[in-house]
Homo-oligomer: A and B are copies of this chain.
Amino acid sequence: MGKSNIHIFAHSKDLKQHLGILLKGRGRIFVLADSNTAEHCLPLIQDMLPLDGKDTMLMAVEAGEEGKNLQGAMDLYNQLIDYGADRNSLLINLGGGMVCDLGGFVASTYKRGIDFIHLPTTVLAQVDASIGGKTGVNLGLLKNMVGTFTQAQETLIYPEFLNTLPKNEVMSGFAEILKHALIADQELWKILSSADYVDLPLIKSVIPRALKIKEDIVNRDFKEQGERKKLNFGHTIGHALESLILESPERDLLHGEAVALGMICECYLSMKSKGISNDELDRICSFIALHFKGIELNRMQFHRVIEIMRHDKKNKQARINFTLLHGIGASIVDQEPEMEHIMEALGYLERYPFPS
């Protein structure tokens, strides 16, 4: 059930050949894209899909989290019905985390499940969202509150898509690569932290290594009973910050940017529980502050962040559950720090001079 099936394609002709075999003999084919990927990514693969015929149908959604909810899912169900999708149909998710999560959820529940494949187009989706079979939609401001564990039939990684991304999207995905290094791969941390520049060529070069970290963990613990929770490092506070900003008029914090800030706070908690030293804390946080933007929180917002965290899916019995580091490249799940330390961790964000 939980076995992943990931292929990486350096050249378009290899992707084309693979898709040709994969799509042969399927019923109708549906491509889910958002307004960005329909414009920038679809043209890169248009000649690989039988988009000219009656058997392929493009479904486009607005880019951004706003449409990732049950109403958005319902719109897609209705399009699938209108265009005659049956159990032999296939959905191709061409996009970032939002498209993969939403499309995966719709495919896994439409008529109790049709096959889907991911063609992730962002760094974040290539190393994280498209790997591991988590699908989901938001409920109000609560992220991925409704979803399933369902593996894509295949995930096809085509790094050429990344050339279409703005820099902040690239760096948002880089946060997840950094997370993978911190929780499980000290060598990867060394590569990243000693690089002269964090740029697209560096990121492309480490994608296979970074996604393998997630793939291995997921294959050992598909339903997140234990080890998979390691991947939540930075996400308990990160998700809450993301929800908080969604409530504000600016709404300009990307998922990875929120996770980067979450990692600063959760590194602080790791130091408090003696998982990492003060020196390690400082090295990691300085590196993050160099590459990501900060936010300013007031005291009232601290309390709102705590309140949001109390609804986190990962909690049991109303305690707030964290994954923390015990060393760089090693992590420990199911930690429940003192509330006082959580408040300090949020305050610790002010310590770093982020670029503005």
Asked whether, in the complex, the Cβ of B149 is within 8 Å of the Cβ of A315, the reply is no
| A318 CA to B140 CA, complexed, in Å | 37
CB-CB nearest in chain B for A313: B111
- A52 nearest CB across to chain B (Å): 19
Main secondary structure, interface of A, reads loop
- Say yes or no for A155: interface residue by CB 8 A criterion: no
A145 CB contact (under 8 Å) in B77, B134, B147, B317? B77
Number of this chain's copies in the assembly equals 2
The CA-CA distance from A144 to B81 in the complex, in Å, is 13
Partner-contacting stretch, out of A84-92, A183-191, A206-214, A236-244: A84-92
A136, closest chain B residue (CB) = B112
- Of all chain B residues, the one with the shortest Cβ separation from A109 is B146
Docked-complex contact A139 and B77, CB < 8 angstroms: yes
Residues of B within 8 A of A139 (CB): 74, 77-78, 81
A144 shortest CB reach to chain B, Å = 8
> Per a CB cutoff under 8 Å, which of B78, B81, B317 touches A86?
B317
A20 interface residue (CB < 8 Å to B): no
| Inter-subunit contact A316/B86 (CB<8 Å) | yes
Interface residues of A (CB under 8 A from B): 1, 27, 70, 73-74, 77-78, 81, 84, 86-88, 108-113, 134-136, 139-140, 142, 144-149, 223, 311, 313-318
